[in-house]
Amino acid sequence: MEHEVVQLKLTCGSEIVCQVIEWPEPNDNQMIVRNALSIINFDTEDNDRVYMFVPWLHFAEGEKDYVVINSDHVMASSKPNSYLRDQYKIAVLETNTASKQREEDHRRRKEEGIKKLEEAMSRVLDQDAKETKLDTANVLKFPGPSNDDTIH
């Protein structure tokens, strides 16, 4: 992860950790990030607080999925501590791996669907060809100079 990892608190209340690809230019309010993971927390039955990462935008979890954030909606930003950065790296690896697997499964299912469609089309065309074949029981052959010496 060569890009700067930051923790952002947004005006909507979301708290995310992400890699900043491009900070906003002067007179611009758009920042480009990737691997944006939202930090959510909940209390267990034992009153322990548990934190976990989830993709901030559903299905925008691959390493090539970039997100543009309006920097006007960033209330606060900080550099995450080493523990949070380590946990973030693990979560990014897991989400990127899951994203790659989902893409591969989708590609495979799509190819299988196309193959099934081709097979079905072939069966339909074969059936049509069988139904349209001429009944040769009433065809008489006559000798002649051409290759097609059949008269119906």
- Write the DSSP string, 34-89: EEEEEEEEEE-TTS-EEEEEEESSTT--STT-EEEEEGGGEEEEEPPPHHHHHHHH
pLDDT score recorded for residue 115: 86
How many structural domains comprise the chain?
1
pLDDT of residue 13: 92
Residue 121 within a domain: no
Residue 129 belongs to a domain: no
Residue 139 binned pLDDT confidence (cut-offs 50, 70, 90): low
Select the highest-mean-pLDDT range: 8-12, 99-103, 118-122: 8-12
Q: What is the pLDDT of residue 62?
A: 82
- Whichever domain contains 24, its CATH number is 2.30.30.100
pLDDT of residue 94: 92
Evaluate whether residue 126 is within a structural domain: no
Percent of the chain with pLDDT over 70: 82
Q: Is residue 65 part of a domain?
A: yes
Give the residue from 68, 31, 53 showing the smallest Cα distance to 98: 53
Q: Would the pLDDT of 31 be above 60?
A: yes
The answer to whether residues 52 and 34 touch, using CB atoms and an 8 Å cutoff, is: no
Structure tokens at 13: 């209340």
pLDDT in tens, 85-111: 999 999 999 999 988 998 899 899 988
The answer to whether residues 36 and 60 touch, using CB atoms and an 8 Å cutoff, is yes
Domain assignment present for 118 = no
* 130 within some domain: no
Is residue 144 domain-resident? no
Mean pLDDT of the chain: 85
pLDDT of residue 144: 63
**pLDDT for the residue 15:** 95
Task: Count the helices and strands in the chain (H runs, E runs).
Answer: 1, 8
Q: Give the residue carrying structure tokens 């299988």.
A: 112
- Tokens at residue 114, please? 């196309």
Tokens representing 127 are: 């059936």
* Residue ranges making up the domain that contains 89: 4-106
User: What gap in Å lies between CA 30 and CA 106, rounded to an integer?
Assistant: 32
Residue 146 within a domain: no
